[in-house]
A and B are shown apart, each in its own frame.
Chain A
Amino acid sequence: MTVAIQTTPLNATHREFSAKMVDFAGWDMPIHYGSQLKEHEAVRTDAGMFDVSHMVVLDIEGADAESWLRHLLANDVAKLKEPNKALYSAMLNEQGGVIDDLITYRTAWGFRMVVNAATRDKDLAWMQQQSEGRDVRLTVRDELAMIAVQGPNAIAKALTVLPADWADGVRSLKPFSALPFGDWFVARTGYTGEDGLEIMLPAEQAPAFWKSLAGAGVAPCGLGARDTLRLEAGMNLYGHDMDETVSPLVAGMGWTVAWAPEERDFIGRKALEAEKAAGVAMKQVGLVLEGRGVLREGMTVVTEAGDGVTTSGTFSPTLKCSIAIARVPATTGDSARVDIRGQLVDVRVVKLPFVRNGKRVFE
């Protein structure tokens, strides 16, 4: 079977902006618009925008919506005390492996969820299966586009092109909160380690909005810069830093697992409790290569306590050296060696993230 490559509502716009397009999880997406490094720099120092319309927006309604989500997700949506708050969570299988990582917003109608594009089909199938017999209605909002505007000047620049009477609302947004404006939904969230907004809007309005943001000095950025930015920010990428065979406890997602209240029976809880009781064997760390060369995904990390593996690696444009996210034995200290194409190279082991709000974080 051949599946036609999918396009977002901004596909023609990307071409107008001279994007180099690549196939990402079956989507025809911009990798960069000339220079990934310049786009990265724009987000760290000013403002950049990403088309993330390939991600899946899902609305959840029904009398059982909240109790169902409290069973489905490892984090607890009951923490969302009022509408328009957001929560990052893993969705686990019974073995405690990560089916996907996602954001859930409490909304006027119930909940809105944003899940990864690459996991769309299996996520929806899993959720359908888990919702059987419950009063839960799932609606995929494919008619919405999503644009992430990120960087220290992102909100100020976005405000120059958003309707003037939304300005007070947008300015009042706290991190990890959102507001609906008619068909639009504006959230102060992101995947770069910078301040900014993720804006969901009707698909047909996306090209004009993108162009008005560009006119306000927001740099179009591709998936290449998105990857180096999230890696510097120490944020996981599904399918790389974790997947269905990896527990959130070894993928740096322990903080997203809500153990209390004890009686909340979420999918995967028993497996995670057993893992915790036995002692979590691995941990997620950052690696910094201060010498020459670039760490890449899948390299062996050699430590005194045994071997680990890099799960993402790149050249860090902010730090001007290579960095990686790695899974290593839990007792690993502050140094290790990485097998870079047959040569063992010394690296520093640091706590994530590497960069936050434009600045190096680790010592």
Chain B
Amino acid sequence: MSQIPAELKYVASHEWLRLEADGTVTVGITDHAQELLGDIVFVELPQVGKTYAEGEQAGVVESVKAASDVYAPIAGEVVEVNAALEASPELANSDPYGEAWFFKVKPANAAELEGLLSADAYAQEIGA
């Protein structure tokens, strides 16, 4: 059974978002996504300083099984990436909502966060 923390926001392409106190938004992939991918062996993260549109490809996750794109779930500028995840991609399997965050975005419009999926809506989306 996939974990879907209630306090996070989600998009249908299986990224999660968390609004931080400093106004940035932390992005990662969901427990459901890592289960689908299996053992993750490489993570390619976006460049700090680059601006992405909502839904634009911002990274890649490669598992033993398949390659999968990671999308920017909200428009904005990438202000930080998780170098520890690049060094230890298996964290995305073991701790998808914690140590395995992918990048932080300064959102172009923080209000867009409100329109994204709640935990319940995401659970429904994946049939959980």
A interface residues (Cβ-Cβ under 8 A, vs B): 31-32, 35-37, 224, 228, 292-294, 296, 314-315, 317, 341
Contacts and interface: CB of A to CB of B under 8 A. Distances in A.
Nearest to B90: A37
A294 B39 contact: no
Contacts of B44: 292
Contacts of B66: 296
Interface residues of B, number: 10
Given A37-B64, A317-B64, A294 B38 contact: no
B42 A36 contact: no
Interface in B54-71: 62, 64-67
Contacts of B39: 35-37
Contacts of A224: 38, 64-65
7 nearest A-B residue pairs (beta carbon)? A315-B41, A294-B62, A37-B39, A315-B64, A36-B39, A36-B64, A292-B42
A15 to B, nearest CB: 15
A293 B66 CA distance: 11
Contacts of A296: 66-67
Contact of A341 (B42, B65, B67): B67
Contacts of A31: 38
B64 A314 contact: yes
Contacts of A32: 38
A315 B44 CA distance: 15
A228 B64 contact: yes
Q: Which of A228, A296, A315, A317 has the most CB of B within 10 A?
A: A315
A292 B44 CA distance: 9
B38 A293 contact: no
A35 B44 CA distance: 22
Contacts of A36: 38-39, 64-65
Contacts of B65: 36, 224
Nearest to B62: A294
A37 B65 CA distance: 11
A293 B42 contact: yes
Q: Which of B38, B39, B66, B67 has the most CB of A within 10 A?
A: B39
B122 to A, nearest CB: 21
18 contacts: A32-B38, A35-B39, A36-B38, A36-B39, A37-B39, A37-B64, A224-B38, A228-B64, A292-B42, A292-B44, A293-B42, A293-B62, A294-B62, A294-B67, A296-B67, A315-B41, A315-B64, A317-B64
Q: Which of B38, B41, B64, B67 has the most CB of A within 10 A?
A: B64
B127 to A, nearest CB: 16
A355 B25 CA distance: 44
B110 to A, nearest CB: 32
A85 to B, nearest CB: 35
Contacts of A228: 64
Interface in B80-128: none
Interface in B29-66: 38-39, 41-42, 44, 62, 64-66
B86 to A, nearest CB: 9
Contacts of B41: 294, 315
A319 to B, nearest CB: 12
Contacts of A37: 39, 64
A228 B67 CA distance: 16
B124 to A, nearest CB: 22
